[in-house]
Amino acid sequence: MKIDFLFVASPYIAFSLLLVGIGVRYFLDRRQMATARKEMAEAWSQLGGGTVWRVSLLLLVTAHLLGVVFPRAILWWSGNTSRLYLLEGAGLIVGVSTLVCWCILLWRHLGHSSGGLITELSDTVFLALLFVGLLSGVLTAILYRWGSVWGSVTLAPYMASLVRAKPAANLASQMPFLVRLHVFSAFAALAVFPLTRLAAFVILVLNWALALLGGAFASTTRVLEAWLRKHNPGAWLWPEED
Amino acid sequence: MPVKPGMLTLAAGPRALALVLLLLAGVQLAWADDEDSQTGGAKFSAEAAATFNKRCTACHTFGKGIKVGPDLKGVTERRKRDWLVKFIHASSTVIKSGDTTAVSLFSEFKKQRMPDWTDLSEKQINDIIDFIAIGGPDIKPLDERNAELASSSDLELGRQLFSGERRLKYGFQPCSSCHSVQGARWGGSLGPDLTHTYFKFQDRALTEFLRHPCFQWERAGAGTHYLTAKEVFALKAFLRQAASRQSTHAELPGSPPHSVNAERVTSIATRAGMSRQTENRKGAAR
């Protein structure tokens, strides 16, 4: 039952909350993008951190995504001992630097409240989950060597099974506690994300993308209308009598 | 242009190439067969073995004395093949014909006649005789051979398979992805250190263990295959070597060998634990 909730239901609940949350926030904020921009600026000043934080976080997320999407490529890479050590070593360095940056970031902004209670609370929960994810990830890399290999044959197929809507929970539930914590904290962070100030970034991107789509649609309609006026199929069908 | 001996003409080129490819394919097939062979190179028909188990073992033993009929161990040396074929096919006819061996066997075994296996063809009977000749039920699968019998090439193969220097035939990940062994390449640490596994679980239980995947690994088109018998044997031999090395280092002068202790102390306890783990892994694999 517990396993079913943690590794079967919770990923879908988290993803649904993410989609619904972002959708609701966009619906509420769509006419006041200035507020979203302000919120975004606040989030950036408080959580944007330095270059090292941003780059290492981006590298971590990208590496995890690549590992899930291309497990065979990762296995091929790790098939060679030197490349395996390089990947695992680099991963550990990036993980540790992200964790250190997170601590510095939180220390700087501790007690600097600038938002409402819900936003502050959700920001705190999100950051706490991020911390749990980072710490469990770093400890996993230290205690359970060669995560790039065993992760590619256990966790990547587990994620693929979630996408295929046939969750193979035992692939994740057989893992040590730290690995399970790492996976679960990622799902929980996804669920909380729409309530944080960082979600404003997604709202702005969504608004920009929709505006772009709307613009493209409008210009296509204009071009089509002009073409129809010029060629006027009605005139061919019903030519005016002299 | 005159063709010199040994010179490959343009017309002969593709044919020669095809021949070389065919030979290579043949070599490859033969190797694949050896890799998957569970019998340590002894070739016999699986159907013959099945027929032997189904029809012969009810009345005959193999090396365990008289049951209803005579012990079949060495029967191919005691009797001529032609006679055996005839007798297996229709013993009643041979006895009626007055064959002295058949008649004496008939009286020796309380005039209990062997059933006539007229439904078996001559080839099927010959296959059964072949099976008996090469050892019958005594033939052990390759991976069930005791790891003590491993050669240095088996040990080297085991080391390479464990560390991933050599790929497993069905594309599974090497043991070192999750496990380590003292004295080998720096292995993974997700799973336990396997240095003492051999003495902990013993030869037979370890064989059974290695026949099933650790996790529900993503099967790269391997179907129901996991490790070949050769790979299981080589890995078992490598683990035995690792355990022996370690126990040699750990033992004090004059103390009984670790392997003996392990056999005595852990054989019963670990077999229970081992079968439980095996079941768990089978469950996970399902």
Mean pLDDT computed over A126-136: 93
CA distance A114 to A104: 19
Mean pLDDT computed over A79-87: 89
Question: A76 or B226: whose pLDDT is higher?
Answer: A76
Whether B286 and chain A come into contact, CB under 8 Å, resolves to: no
Element (H, E) at B263: helix B258-285
Task: Say which of A145, A154, A171 has its CB closest to residue B189.
Answer: A145
Q: Indicate yes or no: pTM above 0.80.
A: no
**Do residue B176 and residue A146 have CB atoms under 8 angstroms apart?**
yes
Whether B282 and chain A come into contact, CB under 8 Å, resolves to: no
As a whole number, the mean pLDDT across chain A is 88
Question: A242 or B201: whose pLDDT is higher?
Answer: B201
Residue in B271, B116, B266, B262 with CA at minimum distance from that of residue B206: B271
**Do residue A174 and residue B186 have CB atoms under 8 angstroms apart?**
no
Q: Do residues B74 and B83 lie in contact, with contact meaning Cβ atoms separated by under 8 Å?
A: no
- Compute the 3-state secondary structure of chain A and give helix, strand, coil in percent, each to the nearest 5: 85, 0, 15
Going from N- to C-terminal start, the domains of chain B cover 46-138, 142-285
Eight-state DSSP code of residue B213: -
Domains B46-138 and B142-285 share a fold: yes
CA distance A158 to A178: 16
Mean pLDDT computed over A128-139: 95
**Do residue A146 and residue B190 have CB atoms under 8 angstroms apart?**
yes
Residues 6+ apart with CB under 8 A from B234: B150, B154, B155, B157, B158, B161
CA distance B215 to B282: 9
| 54-93 in chain B: CB under 8 A from chain A | none
Judge: domain B46-138, CATH 1.10.760.10: yes
Kindly list the structural domains of chain A, giving each domain's residue range(s) and its CATH number in brackets, ordered by start.
2-201 (1.20.950.20)
CA distance B201 to B236: 11
Select from 1.10.150.530, 3.40.50.300, 3.30.565.10, 1.10.760.10 the CATH code of B142-285: 1.10.760.10
Whether B171 and chain A come into contact, CB under 8 Å, resolves to: no
What is the identity of the amino acid at A171? L
Q: What is the nearest CA distance from B232 to chain A, expressed in angstroms?
A: 20
Pinpoint the alpha helices (H) of B37-79: 46-51, 75-78
User: Between the CA of residue A81 and those of A85, A91, A126, B177, B181, what are the distances in Å?
Assistant: 6, 15, 37, 11, 16
CA distance B181 to B186: 8
Mean pLDDT computed over A91-111: 88
Mean pLDDT computed over A161-179: 90
**Do residue A154 and residue B215 have CB atoms under 8 angstroms apart?**
yes
Burial class (CB in 10 A: 0-12, 13-18, 19+), A36: buried
Q: What pLDDT score was predicted for residue B249?
A: 61
Q: Which two tokens stand for residue B250?
A: 């750990």
CA distance B55 to B266: 39
CA distance B39 to B62: 18
Output the tens digit of pLDDT for each of chain B's 286 residues. 343 444 444 444 555 545 444 444 443 333 334 455 555 555 667 788 888 888 898 899 888 888 888 999 889 889 999 999 999 999 989 998 999 999 889 888 888 889 899 899 998 899 899 888 888 777 777 788 888 888 899 999 999 999 888 888 888 888 888 899 887 667 888 888 999 999 888 888 988 888 887 765 555 444 567 888 889 999 999 999 999 887 766 554 444 444 433 343 333 333 334 444 444 444 443 3
**Do residue B216 and residue A149 have CB atoms under 8 angstroms apart?**
no
Task: Give the N- to C-terminal CA distance of chain A in Å, as an integer.
Answer: 83
**Do residue A146 and residue B188 have CB atoms under 8 angstroms apart?**
yes
| Positive/negative CA dihedral, B44, B50, B55, B61 | positive
